[in-house]
Amino acid sequence: MSRRRQFAELIVVRASGFAADGQRRYPRWEATNADLRRWLEQEGIGGVILLGGSAADLALRCRQLQRWAPQPLLLCADVEEGVGQRFEGASWLVPPLALDGLWHREPARAAELARAYGRCTGHEARLLGLNWVLAPVCDVNNNPANPVINVRAWGQDPPAAAALTAAFVEGLQAEGVLGCAKHFPGHGDTQDDSHLALPVLGHDRARLEAVELPPFRAAIAAGVASVMTAHLQLPALDAERPATLSAAVLSGLLRQELGFDGLVVTDALVMEAIAAHHGPGEAAALAFEAGADLLLMPGDVDAALEALERGDADGRWPPERLERSLERRRRALARCRPAPATVEEALDALLDPPSRDLADHLLDLSLQSRGAPRPWRGAGVNLLRIDNALSSAFLPLTAPALVEPQRAGLRTVLVDGQTLPLDPERLPEGPVLLQLFVRGNPFRGSAAAAAEWPGLVRQLVAHDRLGGLAVYGSPYVWEALRDLVPPDRPAAYSPGQMPAAQARVLARLGLARAKGGPGDGFTD
């Protein structure tokens, strides 16, 4: 096998979960079928990250890609909140941070639920053809202003994050798929989104040991198969290069000090934290030189391969360096259990009541509310805040957040995060149901911080217009707003944003009948 083809096994490219080129949602990053097939068949590319499509689409796509490849592939997805987060028809679970509060009261129960969360995710991923889950997020979200982590984290302090991520890894990998601890050495205490810029984490080594590193140590002790790098600068460890490109961080800290001998994978190399400072070829070569085994989404596959070949010929790393990465990849693949032989078998097995029961239980467990439900009849306003009305997977036309207020006679008004300030006097007449869909999201540049919303809530209360409040996603927004709602008005919160979460929240406000029981000890 040529050196170029060996290096190709270490590259992971992005593809749509849909079969046809015309169905790609993000053509800027998702390869065409012609390129995919060439990369897999002729170059020997070793991995594909998938996004988009239903569970059935994913099952077909994974099997198709594996047919195109002459060797076993690593097939992965960012399914941090269950496979249904990205692929409709599978289980979509509440975000991990939902278990943080429970862990502080009942740590054993929370850990068992995190383990079940991992089992559910791993089971459904393997059924559909994925053998690598890019989770858990091991970042400690101790900064409420973090624009990109937020509810994706498992904890707001190191003990919770460490215990829950380790339990998730145990459950996930018991199902025969690989896990991935990310984003090393910790992306929780940043105020910049590495999709858009290079964050700087200015803490010293003692602070990193106390806060950022414990969840990664716990995940490694639990046997996590891979660790993903963070695109951020840590001057205490390397004043020149970000973690993804730093030998001090990857070879020194992760390999030698933490003793990790699994796969080290970069975060996507097309992200601006890297791409704005390095060309696609040099970024790939720098990451490999620093200690990364797998290169996720290089901006130009051919340029990456050429740079790796050139670096190898120029002696930028020892000759055995490539073989060590290939051996780690082989060992990882040997841990994976095969998917069912046919798509029909996979989809039949996906209809697994325990998975659905877990999703419902976690939603009920994490629901919070104040005040009694109220009758909603007649004129009024359903005021929804969302990031983008054109790409909200949680808001189909049949979503309870749209349908239930409409049934009660409320008129829907959509706003985005840039719309404030709003003048309540310019809204249609009647009580206002304020529904906020707010959480950390890549490419937004902010976490839609809680500071944006108290002013509007106070205005609505002052004009006697606030009929009720629903918050989906960020606990920090809920904590900032709940005490501003008069006690005779209902308010409710779910960390989830999916339709099932909406139904439960609206039932607490008097607008829908939710499936499942009441929250379990979380109601004020």
pLDDT at 524 exceeding the cut of 60: no
Per-residue pLDDT reduced to its tens digit, 292-350: 999 999 999 999 999 999 999 999 999 999 999 999 999 999 999 999 989 999 999 99
Lowest mean pLDDT among 71-80, 192-201, 451-460: 192-201
Q: How far apart are CA 339 and CA 127, in angstroms?
A: 5
**Residue whose C-alpha is closest to residue 14's, from 5, 1, 26, 2:** 26
Q: How far apart are CA 279 and CA 285, in angstroms?
A: 10
What does the pLDDT read at residue 193? 76
Residue pair 366/495 in contact by the 8 Å Cβ criterion: yes
Q: Which residues contact 271 (CB under 8 A, 6 or more apart)?
A: 194, 195, 231
Q: Which residues contact 400 (CB under 8 A, 6 or more apart)?
A: 499, 502, 503, 506, 512
7 sits in the region (left: phi over 0; alpha: psi -120 to 50; else beta) called alpha
In percent, the amount of the chain with pLDDT more than 70 equals 94
pLDDT band at 218 (very low <50, low <70, confident <90, very high): very high
Q: How far apart are CA 500 and CA 511, in angstroms?
A: 14
User: Which residues participate in catalysis according to the annotation?
Assistant: 195, 267
Per-residue pLDDT reduced to its tens digit, 379-397: 899 999 987 766 788 999 9
Question: Following DSSP, what letter does each residue of 245-298 receive, concatenated?
Answer: G-HIIIIIIIIIIS---SEEEPSPTTSHHHHTTS-HHHHHHHHHHHT-SBEE--
**Residue whose C-alpha is closest to residue 280's, from 250, 240, 308:** 308
Report pTM. Answer: 0.94
Considering the chain, what is the average pLDDT of its residues? Answer: 92
Per-residue pLDDT reduced to its tens digit, 222-245: 999 999 999 999 999 999 999 999
439, 444, 450, 455: CA torsion to nearest 10: -130
Tokens 């340029």 label which residue? 303
Residue pair 359/82 in contact by the 8 Å Cβ criterion: yes
Tokens 């927004």 label which residue? 477
Q: How far apart are CA 509 and CA 372, in angstroms?
A: 7
Per-residue pLDDT reduced to its tens digit, 92-147: 999 999 999 999 999 999 999 999 999 999 999 999 999 999 999 999 999 988 88
pLDDT at 266 exceeding the cut of 70: yes
Mean pLDDT of 185-189: 92
Mean pLDDT of 347-356: 85
Residue pair 329/74 in contact by the 8 Å Cβ criterion: yes
Residue 288 structure tokens: 């490999």
Q: Tell me 409's DSSP state.
A: T
Half-sphere exposure of 180 (CA within 13 A, CB side): 24
**Residue whose C-alpha is closest to residue 385's, from 426, 443, 439:** 439
Between 370 and 449, the higher pLDDT residue: 370
Q: Which residues contact 291 (CB under 8 A, 6 or more apart)?
A: 247, 250, 251, 254, 255, 264
pLDDT at 170 exceeding the cut of 60: yes
Per-residue pLDDT reduced to its tens digit, 460-480: 999 999 999 999 999 999 999
Between 447 and 220, the higher pLDDT residue: 220
Backbone phi, then psi, for 131, in 5-degree steps?
-120, 5
**Residue whose C-alpha is closest to residue 129's, from 186, 208, 60:** 60
What does the pLDDT read at residue 262? 98
